[in-house]
């Protein structure tokens, strides 16, 4: 974890109390987990969504969230969503083009959100980006620029930088990487080298801590991970937990390039030694309930994977 200077305008006692938190990306994994965690704690949540009729939106409304429609590509829709909010959970408004990540559009979206939050008087932002490595790739520059812009515009900012999600094993494998298809999990990482991963529920826990203790977490950057099994160990654990045989297969450079040049570039960077560097033991001191991969499987992952792999609950 690293710390950068920041000023906090939190309520006396270093808390934002029961004041409203706006959550972006609320129908996605990080935003959804964070919205549910805050609602479970009794905190008022306003979910910023593009589709107010989506099943995930309906579920959030049933859980007690205030639903408001907003679109990062329409900055005029953002002020009403942020009106009266004390805090904001901001998921990177990622954008894609033919060549991969559209960095300029992503930054423009993030800048619009930061400006609207500043104009609305939002005091504290928890921004969740992506885990850093030495010499970050150009595809990450949009997230880095949004983070820097937020620090210039908002009095108190906490940056979360999570590694690969444990729930990625549940992803569709239609693009040829991640997920599990025909008993094979394919990715770019070496088979027998530890690989940091995290449960999205723990991202939500760190966000909740930051909102509860803004003075403690103001200006801080937290690289987040919960475990580091090798890909081979991970698929072995999945096989044992689900009863379905799963093996790991590493994509060659040519296979990665055929899928997407951006995937190939990440594989090249990994092969050259770029690595995530979250300090899991320190994180566990901050959040003692930090999940291991075995914890995630036992809690929800195995049941969800069993359904996908075997068609049984």
- CA distances 51 to 21, 67, 91, 128, Å, are 19, 10, 16, 22
This prediction's pTM = 0.91
pLDDT for residue 306: 96
From the CB of residue 91, how many other CB atoms can be counted at a distance below 10 Å?
23
**Is the pLDDT confidence value at 258 over 80?**
yes
pLDDT per residue as tens digits for the range 38-64? 999 999 999 999 999 999 999 999 999
Q: Under DSSP, is residue 308 helix (H, G, I), strand (E, B) or coil?
A: helix
Output the DSSP codes for 87-155.
EEEE-----EETTEE-HHHHHHHHHHHHHHHHHTT--EEEEE-----SS--GGGHHHHHHHHHHHHHSS
**Is the pLDDT confidence value at 8 over 60?**
no
**Lowest-confidence region among 112-116, 174-178, 233-237:** 174-178
pLDDT for residue 187: 97
**Helices marked H in the chain — which ranges?**
29-40, 55-63, 78-82, 103-119, 141-153, 200-212, 214-217, 231-242, 253-259, 261-271, 280-286, 293-296, 302-310
Q: Which region holds residue 264: left if phi is over 0, alpha if psi is between -120 and 50, else beta?
A: alpha
pLDDT per residue as tens digits for the range 101-149? 788 999 999 999 999 999 999 999 999 999 998 876 665 778 899 999 9
Where do the domains of the chain lie?
2-165+198-226+276-291
pLDDT for residue 98: 67
Stretch 274-297: mean pLDDT? 97
* Angle between helix 103-119 and 141-153 (nearest 10): 20
Write a three-state SS string for 68-85. Answer: EECECCEHHHHHHHHCCC
**Is the pLDDT confidence value at 12 over 70?**
no
Stretch 218-246: mean pLDDT? 97
List the one residue out of 71, 77, 88, 81 whose CA is nearest residue 35.
88
From the CB of residue 202, how many other CB atoms can be counted at a distance below 10 Å?
24
Locate 87 and state its tokens: 């805090």
Stretch 277-306: mean pLDDT? 98
From the CB of residue 176, how many other CB atoms can be counted at a distance below 10 Å?
15
Alpha-carbon torsion 83, 58, 37, 158, what sign?
negative
Q: What is the pLDDT confidence band of residue 9, given thresholds at 50, 70 and 90? A: very low
Locate 204 and state its tokens: 């939500």
pLDDT per residue as tens digits for the range 184-203? 999 999 999 999 999 999 99
Diameter of the chain measured on Cα atoms: 57
Distance CA 150, CA 277 (A): 23
Name the architecture of domain 2-165+198-226+276-291: 3-Layer(aba) Sandwich (3.40)
């Amino acid at each position: 974890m690293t710390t950068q200077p920041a000023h906090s305008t939190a309520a006396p006692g270093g808390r934002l109390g029961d004041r409203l938190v706006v959550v972006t990306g609320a129908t996605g994994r990080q935003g959804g987990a964070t919205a549910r965690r805050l609602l479970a704690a009794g905190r008022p949540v306003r979910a910023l969504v593009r589709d107010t009729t989506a099943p995930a939106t309906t579920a959030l409304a049933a859980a007690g969230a205030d639903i408001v429609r907003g679109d990062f590509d329409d900055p005029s829709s953002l002020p009403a969503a942020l009106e009266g909010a004390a805090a904001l959970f901001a998921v990177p408004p990622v954008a894609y083009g033919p060549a991969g990540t559209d960095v300029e559009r992503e930054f423009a979206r993030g800048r619009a959100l930061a400006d609207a939050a500043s104009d609305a008087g939002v005091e504290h932002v928890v921004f969740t980006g992506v885990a850093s490595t030495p010499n970050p790739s150009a595809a990450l520059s949009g997230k880095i620029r949004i983070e820097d812009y937020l620090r210039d515009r908002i009095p108190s900012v906490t940056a979360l930088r999570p590694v690969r999600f444990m729930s990625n094993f549940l992803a569709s494998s239609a693009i040829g990487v991640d997920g599990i298809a025909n008993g094979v999990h394919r990715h770019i990482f070496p088979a027998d080298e530890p690989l940091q991963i995290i449960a999205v529920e723990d991202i939500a826990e760190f966000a909740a801590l930051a909102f509860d203790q803004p003075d403690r977490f103001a200006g801080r950057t937290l690289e987040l991970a919960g475990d580091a099994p090798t890909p081979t160990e991970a698929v072995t654990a999945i096989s044992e937990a689900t009863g379905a045989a799963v093996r790991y297969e590493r994509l060659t450079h040519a296979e990665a390039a055929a899928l997407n040049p951006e995937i190939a570039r990440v594989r090249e960077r990994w092969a050259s030694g770029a690595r995530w560097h979250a300090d899991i033991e320190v994180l566990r001191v901050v959040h003692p309930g930090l999940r291991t991969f075995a914890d995630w499987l036992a809690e929800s992952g195995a049941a969800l994977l069993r359904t996908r792999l075997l068609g049984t609950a």
